[in-house]
Amino acid sequence: MKPIIGIAGNERTMTMGETFWLSYTSRNFVEGIQAADGLPLVLPIGQPEDAKTYIQRIDKLLLGGGHDVNPKLYGQEPHPYLEEINEKRDAFELRLIDEAIKQGKPIFGICRGMQLVNVAFGGTLHQDISLFGPTKIKHVQESEMNKRTHPVQIKAASRLATFLPEAYSVNSYHHQTIKDVAPNFTATAHAPDGIIEAIEANDLPIMAIQWHPELTRSTFDTEQQLFTYFVQKL
């Protein structure tokens, strides 16, 4: 039986004469999970109290990109460089994470998903990369997201290192980054400037990355392997 992968959805508006709200996820996530022999199921943003039921109906949880995480969740006031937040999404996804842990369901976080996982377990973020310090690496890739633009070093003896080379390269589109890694998590990949590119829980089935394999998986087989590992092994 194929594992059912819950993808935490996002919301946006569409105007066609009238304005409509859409609940959605990227088709690239759907195809990555299908190619890994999983069944994707989109979980629309909803009431936190419904998270338990959603998690009961899936085998694993994927958290994707999008909004900035509300800095109040990690004890900071909003910085002028903070971009759009969605408090309803934060609250719902945090409850999904909580329920997934209670029910023993693995979690894979991508971009914002990594940042939210880190915050959920007591870590903090830089609200903008400029607050991390000077860097010569362009972490906001402006075009051709199916290409890889900067190197990362993957930690030996990590989950990632079981199927990716230690010297790797990734695409990049984020203006926030991890500051303090959550307790009982390990940073398992870094960019040359020191920015954290992946984390893994030490004693839970959780892994998370900063880059976007859903946009490179059709070009690079190793990027599809991230989905395959998540769906079949994590």
Is 49 in the active site? no
Is 214 in the active site? yes
The H-or-E segment that residue 33 falls in is helix 27-35
| Local structure of residue 93 (DSSP, 8 states) | H
Q: Dmax over Cα atoms in the chain, in whole Å?
A: 55
Residues 204 and 44: their CA atoms lie apart, in Å, by 25
> Where does 87-172 show beta strands of DSSP type E?
107-110, 125-126, 150-154, 167-170
Q: Which two three-digit tokens encode residue 124?
A: 């903090």
DSSP 32-60: HHHHTT-EEEEE-S--GGGHHHHHHT-SE
Strands 167-170 and 150-154: antiparallel
**Which one of the listed residues 111, 139, 150, 200 is annotated catalytic?**
111
**Which one of the listed residues 93, 99, 197, 214 is annotated catalytic?**
214
Q: Residue 23: which residues within 8 A CB-CB, separation 6 or more? A: 9, 10, 11, 42, 44, 45
Asked if 141 contacts 171 with a C-beta cutoff of 8 angstroms, the reply is yes
**Which one of the listed residues 126, 139, 150, 212 is annotated catalytic?**
212
Is 212 in the active site? yes
Residues 114 and 57: their CA atoms lie apart, in Å, by 23
Strands 206-209 and 107-110: parallel
Positions marked active-site: 111, 212, 214
